[in-house]
Amino acid sequence: MDAAQVGVTAGGAATIGLILWFFFGPRTAAAAHEGTAGVQEVEVRVRGGYTPDRIEVRRGRPVRLSFVRDESSPCTEQVVLGDFGIVRTLPQGVRVDVEFTPEAAGEYPFHCAMNMARGTLVVRA
């Protein structure tokens, strides 16, 4: 291989690695912290995805997800919690509280409007 071929091959390998990391890389999980009045609170940082992107709560108690969007990319401008009928716009740098009470145990996805950035709400019995 000449230098150009080596470059192209290395670039391709790096791109594949990045894609694998993006889709299958480490996930962050967090259990909600139960604050006063029994509200299960989690702050979710929004930047190229959600951190944490796996959130554990208990069913039958109110949940407050506080989204803070820390980027200008329009991708994450909206967050959708389809199972709860919730769609919210997240202005950059503004904390947006989303409150609801999950009644049934299960795993509920949340995502951006294009379904590119994704997270999961895990509701335990």
- Interface residues toward Cu ion, by CB under 5 A: 75, 112, 114, 116
Ramachandran angles phi, psi of 9, nearest 5°: -65, -45
Task: Pick the closer one to Cu ion by CB: 20 or 116.
Answer: 116
Task: Pick the closer one to Cu ion by CB: 46 or 65.
Answer: 46
Q: Whole-number minimum distance, CB 89 to Cu ion, in Å?
A: 13
Q: Whole-number minimum distance, CB 50 to Cu ion, in Å?
A: 11
User: Among residues 92, 93, 84, which one has the least CA distance to residue 64?
Assistant: 84
Which is it for the CA torsion 113, 45, 71, 89, positive or negative? positive
For residue 56, give the H/E element and its range.
strand 54-58
Task: Pick the closer one to Cu ion by CB: 32 or 112.
Answer: 112
User: Among residues 125, 124, 101, 122, which one has the least CA distance to residue 110?
Assistant: 122
Task: Pick the closer one to Cu ion by CB: 16 or 114.
Answer: 114
Q: Whole-number minimum distance, CB 64 to Cu ion, in Å?
A: 23
Q: Whole-number minimum distance, CB 58 to Cu ion, in Å?
A: 29
Residue bearing tokens 């329009």: 74
